[in-house]
Amino acid sequence: MTMPDKFIANLCPTGMIPRKAKVPDVPTTPEEIAADVRRCRDAGASMVHLHARDDDEEPTWRKEVFAEICEAVVAEAPDMILVVTTSGRNWNDFARRSESLSITGAAKPELASLTLGSMNFPTGPSINSPEMIEQLATTMRDNGITPELEVFDVGMVNYANHLIAKGVLTGPHYFNILLGSRGTADVSAANAAACLASLPSESTWAFAGIGRFQTAANTLALSLGGHVRVGLEDNPYYDWRDRSPATNPRLVERIVRIAAELGREPATPEEARQIIGLKPVQRNTTAGMDAR
C-alpha cells in the first residue's frame, strides 16, 4: 500500500458535553466557534463537525442557531467543509434531530452525522433505531447532504453495508470510526482491523479517540493511511497526566506535527473534498482567506 501524502483533519470543536466551567476554552457561541475554526483551519483542519449551544451552554437542535453558526464559520473560513450533527444523545424525535438538515444558501452543510446504531455512553444511552437511521439518511440524500457515517464498533460498519445494499446509502462514503468510549469498542489493533476490514470499497475513513485515547487513535490512523477527527468534543485535556486543559488549535497543531514525522501533511479543504468525493463548493463571501 502506498501511503497517501495528504490527510484530512476533521475538527470537532464543541460537542454536547464540555462546559466552560471544566473546559474553559470550549467555544459555545457562534462567534467563538467561528474564531476557533479559523485558527484551526490555519493550523491544518479542513472540515468541521458542528454542534449548537444555547446561551446557557446547553445543546440545542434549533435550525436558526445552527444556521447562525454555519454563517459565522463561512465568514471566517469560507472554504471549510461544513458538517452538522443529527445526534440523538439528548433528544430522539426526528423533527428535532433533522432541523439542521434544512439549512440552505451559502451556509448549507455538505455533510451531516449519521450514527449507525444504538450504544451506551458513560452518562446514558444514545438510541438510533433502524427507522430513525433510514429516515435521517433519506432526508440527507433528498437535501443533497452526504452522511458522515459514525461507527463505534464493527457491527455499525456491517449495518452501513446493509444500508448500501438496500440503496439507502449511495455514497460517497465517509466514515468516522470512534474508539475508546466506555460501552463500545476500545482502541486496539484488533478493533481497528475489524472495522477497516469491513468497510465498503472506496470508503474514506478517519479514527477518533475518546478522551485520553484521542492522540493514540489519531496516530494509528495516520500510520495506516487514514484521516483523523480531533478536538475538544472528544478530548478536554492536552496532557491527561496533569489534566492540563486543551484548546482546539493546540490539538490540531499537535496532530499536524505528528503527521509530519510520518511524512504526511494536512489537506486543504478543496483537497479534502476531492479525497472524499464531494462536489466543489464556491461560497460568495466578502471574507478574505489566504491559502494555507
DSSP assignment string, 29-96: SHHHHHHHHHHHHHHT--EEEE-EE-TTS-EE--HHHHHHHHHHHHHH-TTSEEEE----SS---HHH
Amino acid at 35: A
Assigned C-alpha cell, 117: 446504531
Q: For residue 193, give every residue at least 6 positions away whose Cβ sits within 8 Å of its Cβ, in sequence order, or none.
A: none
Give me the mean pLDDT over the 16-43 stretch. 97
Higher pLDDT pick, 276 / 88: 276
Looking at residue 285, its pLDDT comes to: 53
pLDDT tens-place string over residues 55-65:
999 999 999 99
- The distance in angstroms from the start CA to the end CA of the chain is 28
Which residues does 105 contact at the CB level (< 8 Å), separation at least 6? none
Q: Where are the domains of the chain?
A: 6-276
The tens digit of pLDDT for each residue in 117-147 reads 999 988 888 999 999 999 999 999 999 999 9
Local confidence band at 286 (pLDDT 50, 70, 90 cut-offs): very low
Tell me the angle at which helices 30-43 and 63-76 cross, rounded to the nearest 10 degrees: 40
How far is 14 from 37, CA to CA, in rounded Å?
A: 11
pLDDT of residue 284: 62
Res 276 pLDDT > 60: yes
- Report pTM: 0.94
Task: Kindly tell me the burial class for residue 42, based on how many C-beta atoms sit within 10 Å of its own C-beta (0-12, 13-18, 19 or more).
Answer: middle
Give the model's pLDDT for residue 290.
39
Mean pLDDT of the chain: 94
Would you call the peptide bond into 24 cis, given omega within 30 degrees of 0 as the criterion? no
pLDDT band with cut points at 50, 70 and 90 for residue 265: very high
Question: 192-239 pLDDT, tens per residue?
Answer: 999 999 999 999 999 999 999 999 999 999 999 999 999 999 999 999
**Does CATH place domain 6-276 in 3.30.465.10?**
no
With residue 288 as reference, give the H or E element that holds it. Answer: none
Provide the pLDDT for residue 3.
67
